[in-house]
Amino acid sequence: MALNLSGYAVDFKAVQEAVTRLSPFIHRTPIVTSGTADERVGRRLFFKAENLQQTGAFKIRGALNAVLQLKESNPAVKGVATHSAGNHGQALAAAARNCQLSCTVVIPNTAPQVKVNAIKGYGANVVFCEPTPQDRKATSERVCKEAGLTFVSPYDDVHVISGQGTLGLELLEQVSDMDAIVVPVSGGGLAAGVCLAVKSVKPQIKIFAAEPAGKDLEVSLRAGERLWPEPPRHLETIADGLRTQQLGQITWPIARDCLEKTVLTMSDDETVAAMKFVFERMKLVVEPSGAVPVAAVMSDRFRLLGSDIKKVSVIMSGGNVNLDKLPWC
Amino acid sequence: MALNLSGYAVDFKAVQEAVTRLSPFIHRTPIVTSGTADERVGRRLFFKAENLQQTGAFKIRGALNAVLQLKESNPAVKGVATHSAGNHGQALAAAARNCQLSCTVVIPNTAPQVKVNAIKGYGANVVFCEPTPQDRKATSERVCKEAGLTFVSPYDDVHVISGQGTLGLELLEQVSDMDAIVVPVSGGGLAAGVCLAVKSVKPQIKIFAAEPAGKDLEVSLRAGERLWPEPPRHLETIADGLRTQQLGQITWPIARDCLEKTVLTMSDDETVAAMKFVFERMKLVVEPSGAVPVAAVMSDRFRLLGSDIKKVSVIMSGGNVNLDKLPWC
């Protein structure tokens, strides 16, 4: 039970500082409940509707915390850059605009036009790269060097992690006596932040990771070491916000020590069914990545967990989906 | 400014009693804001996300208040009945189930199967009628007589009106210093309830009606008398929860005295555009009827209202929509 949470690159104090830094700018998103979901699952569920957050996803917490901190520590900073066709790209663009900084987002030349437009809509520059991890990295480095921009990782950044952690502190205030939290995991920024925040205050709360098939986080968690194949690869999944297979170098030790060893792995079919459930019964627009934790609590594996897990919070983010092409249509 | 609100069939005290009666059972739905919507409209908007209410619409407030009150005053009551293929039908079915009463809903034989299933899903009996106001009325009367059921009108019932009024009191608690509220109007149950609640506490708040084209509420409001053609008819509109042209006999005097004379009339195109805006930008599933007030605040007519109207609450309900057939697909 007694966890030592002091040996990581980021600590609980940074999460508390992020709360103060972010609170003037972001929404305190509501908790939504559903009698139908509770009946189906046999537990009391509390859905953190983070799809209602600014920019439609939790990513603004980490991105804005990183940009605000950067400007505090270096008022002369020129701008920021990242690589992401998804919610982190939009979030960093919005965060930079909020702070009157320039922003460049490196995007694979295969990304859908709707995502490119969303990022441009927040005033960021877009630079295209080949759809490989190698070219993405090289292009980002070149862009940062040429324009004097500071790179902000989607997940492996201490300020991004502490920013995402603010969601954990909100949950603690909004849902009393939680037994567990289900968190989606990709690079691990949200998971690490929520673990730090929640385990520092209530170490007895169990934190379960939900992932798309192929990630195999449980193998590494049970071994206590990184067992992913190299070089890093992207998963083929409808949950396009959760394509990164490996956790980051900063996020991994926190996840390793704090997450439950049981990982909830969802197929695309399960994810789409959960997504439609959220639209139909909960009246919320959620993207596949946001529906993965919902699918997780509805899964047989979660059902078989101990009956001591009564009250469960489910982090549901984001809501950026192409409405002209819903996966069930 | 000084309104006399004491001469109606239902009064403010009934709304306060409904708050006590309903609070153990219904959600306190959140207020959602959108920077994009505020920028577009040039005012601060507070969307009451009543699509997140039990059964997906505000209708549960009135229906449950009526059923609970019925059981309080007559513990031997056998059951309830109504005519509605829409949200009131679902709400009364859910309310009756909550109180262990039987419920029969009279539905036109042209209603889509999805609505029939939703009502049956709450355990109610369904009886079909011809799709005319005459046969609907005759069938409802026959069903009530044969089975000894009590008829609960979708809007022209004092307990339904006071139940809907609880939404107005919630708004007063959630949005400080509102200048105006935009409320959708069909039979007028919600409008009358919200008027009674809000005008009793803060008479200076302006309450605007939003309607589908063809209703012509403004003509009657400006004349101060019911100028609708007889016999009663239904409007052709995509907003299928707002098809009743005439206000009720109980709701009309309250609406006449309390609503602003300027009525916001929306075309189907404006309603669908607002609906898609809510899905895309606000991440909420809203049906056409629920999008009519959103379209209203985005309309040119609303834009031209006085600049003293700065903070506006928009009642957004419900969220029961066929997701396999969205109007923009």
User: pTM score, two decimals?
Assistant: 0.95
pLDDT band at B4 (very low <50, low <70, confident <90, very high): confident
Radius of gyration of chain A (CA): 18
pLDDT in tens, B46-79: 999 999 999 999 999 999 999 999 999 999 999 9
Flag if B276 and A323 touch (Cβ within 8 Å): yes
State the DSSP string of A249-261. TTHHHHHHHHS-S
**pLDDT at position A85, please?**
76
What would the mean pLDDT of B143-156 be, rounded to a whole number? 96
- Count Cβ–Cβ pairs < 8 Å, chain A vs chain B: 53
Q: Does the N-terminal peptide bond of residue A231 adopt cis geometry, omega within 30 degrees of 0?
A: yes
Nearest in space to B242 (alpha carbons), one of B184, B299, B192, B191: B184
Class of residue A236 by CB neighbours under 10 A (exposed 0-12, middle 13-18, buried 19+): exposed
Q: Which of A55, A283, A284 to mutate to test the interface with B (most CBs of B within 10 A)?
A: A283
For residue B325, count other CB atoms closer than 10 A to its CB.
10
For A145, phi then psi, to 5°, come to -65, -50
**pLDDT at position B2, please?**
63
Q: Enter the tokens of residue B159.
A: 């307990």
Sheet holding B125-129, edge to edge: B125-129, B102-108, B79-83, B150-151
pLDDT in tens, A67-103: 999 999 999 999 999 998 789 999 999 999 999 999 9
pLDDT band at A133 (very low <50, low <70, confident <90, very high): confident
Each domain of chain A, given as residue ranges in start order, spans 12-54+161-316, 59-151
Please check whether residue A314 is in contact with residue A266, taking contact to mean a CB–CB distance below 8 angstroms.
Answer: no
pLDDT at A301 over 90: yes
CA B323 → CA A281, B50, B319, distances in Å?
11, 18, 10
Class of residue B326 by CB neighbours under 10 A (exposed 0-12, middle 13-18, buried 19+): middle
Considering only the beta carbons, identify the residue of B52, B285, B329 that sits closest to A279: B285
| DSSP H or E segment with residue A37 | helix A35-41
High-pLDDT (> 90) share of chain A, %: 89
Flag if B329 and A329 touch (Cβ within 8 Å): yes
Q: Enter the tokens of residue A317.
A: 């983010």
Whole-angstrom distance, CA of residue A113 vs CA of residue A328: 21
**pLDDT at position B115, please?**
81
pLDDT at B114 over 90: no
Whole-angstrom distance, CA of residue B155 vs CA of residue A7: 62
Considering only the beta carbons, identify the residue of B276, B285, B318 that sits closest to A284: B285
Q: Which residues of B touch A319 (CB under 8 A)?
A: 283
| DSSP H or E segment with residue B207 | strand B206-212
Nearest in space to A131 (alpha carbons), one of A15, A239, A290, A243: A243
Least confident of A128-137, A207-216, B188-197, B203-212: A128-137
Considering only the beta carbons, identify the residue of A32, A279, A328 that sits closest to B52: A32
Question: How many angstroms away from the CA of B135 is the closest CA of chain A?
Answer: 32
Architecture of domain A12-54+161-316: 3-Layer(aba) Sandwich (3.40)
Encode B227-261: b = buried (16+ Cβ within 10 Å), e = exposed.
Answer: ebeeeeeebebbbbbbbbbbbbebbbbbbbbbbbe
What would the mean pLDDT of B15-20 be, rounded to a whole number? 98
Please check whether residue B219 is in contact with residue B197, taking contact to mean a CB–CB distance below 8 angstroms.
Answer: no
pLDDT at A229 over 70: yes
CA B263 → CA A209, A286, A293, B210, B236, distances in Å?
51, 34, 44, 6, 18
Residue B34: closest CA among chain A residues belongs to which residue? Answer: A54
Architecture of domain B12-58+157-316: 3-Layer(aba) Sandwich (3.40)
Query: Between A158-174 and A12-22, two packed helices, what is the crossing angle to 10 degrees?
Result: 80
pLDDT at B91 over 90: yes
Flag if B284 and A282 touch (Cβ within 8 Å): no
Measure the CA angle with vertex B199, ends B198 and B200; round to 5°.
90
CA B244 → CA A116, B96, B260, B269, distances in Å?
44, 24, 20, 19
For the four alpha carbons of B119, B266, A118 and A160, in that order, the dihedral sign comes to negative
Question: How many angstroms away from the CA of A119 is the closest CA of chain B?
Answer: 14
**pLDDT at position B221, please?**
98
pLDDT at B112 over 90: no
For residue A25, count other CB atoms closer than 10 A to its CB.
16
Class of residue A295 by CB neighbours under 10 A (exposed 0-12, middle 13-18, buried 19+): buried
Whole-angstrom distance, CA of residue B286 vs CA of residue A100: 34
pLDDT at A1 over 60: no
Flag if A33 and B51 touch (Cβ within 8 Å): no
Flag if B279 and A285 touch (Cβ within 8 Å): yes
Considering only the beta carbons, identify the residue of A284, A318, A326 that sits closest to B284: A284
pLDDT band at A231 (very low <50, low <70, confident <90, very high): confident
Nearest in space to A242 (alpha carbons), one of A215, A222, A270, A269: A215
For residue A132, count other CB atoms closer than 10 A to its CB.
12
Strands B150-151 and A311-316: unpaired
Please check whether residue B115 is in contact with residue B89, taking contact to mean a CB–CB distance below 8 angstroms.
Answer: yes
**pLDDT at position A56, please?**
93
Q: Enter the tokens of residue B80.
A: 């309830």
pLDDT in tens, A10-43: 999 999 999 999 999 999 999 999 999 999 999 9
**pLDDT at position A303, please?**
96
Residue A49: closest CA among chain B residues belongs to which residue? Answer: B283
**pLDDT at position A2, please?**
63
Q: What ipTM was reported for this prediction?
A: 0.93
Class of residue A300 by CB neighbours under 10 A (exposed 0-12, middle 13-18, buried 19+): exposed
pLDDT at B138 over 60: yes
Instruction: Examine domains B12-58+157-316 and B59-151 and report if their fold is the same.
Output: yes
Nearest in space to A111 (alpha carbons), one of A94, A141, A89: A89
Q: Which of B36, B277, B283 to mutate to test the interface with A (most CBs of A within 10 A)?
A: B283
- DSSP E strand stretches across B240-286: 264-266
**pLDDT at position A113, please?**
81
Q: Enter the tokens of residue B282.
A: 């606000």
What would the mean pLDDT of A263-280 be, rounded to a whole number? 98
pLDDT at B1 over 60: no
- DSSP E strand stretches across chain A: 31-32, 44-49, 79-83, 102-108, 125-129, 150-151, 180-184, 206-212, 264-266, 311-316
**pLDDT at position B234, please?**
87
For B127, phi then psi, to 5°, come to -120, 130
State the DSSP string of B143-198. HHHHHTPEE--SSSSHHHHHHHHHHHHHHHHHSTT--EEEEE-SSSHHHHHHHHHH
**pLDDT at position B231, please?**
87
CA B297 → CA A24, A163, B80, B257, B311, distances in Å?
26, 34, 37, 22, 11
pLDDT in tens, A165-200: 999 999 999 999 999 999 999 999 999 999 999 999
Whole-angstrom distance, CA of residue A277 vs CA of residue A267: 16
**Topology classification of domain B59-151:** Rossmann fold (3.40.50)
Residue-averaged pLDDT of chain A: 95
Q: Who contacts A216 (Cβ-Cβ below 8 Å, separation ≥6)?
A: A227, A228, A245
Which residues of A form the catalytic set? 59, 317
**pLDDT at position A114, please?**
78
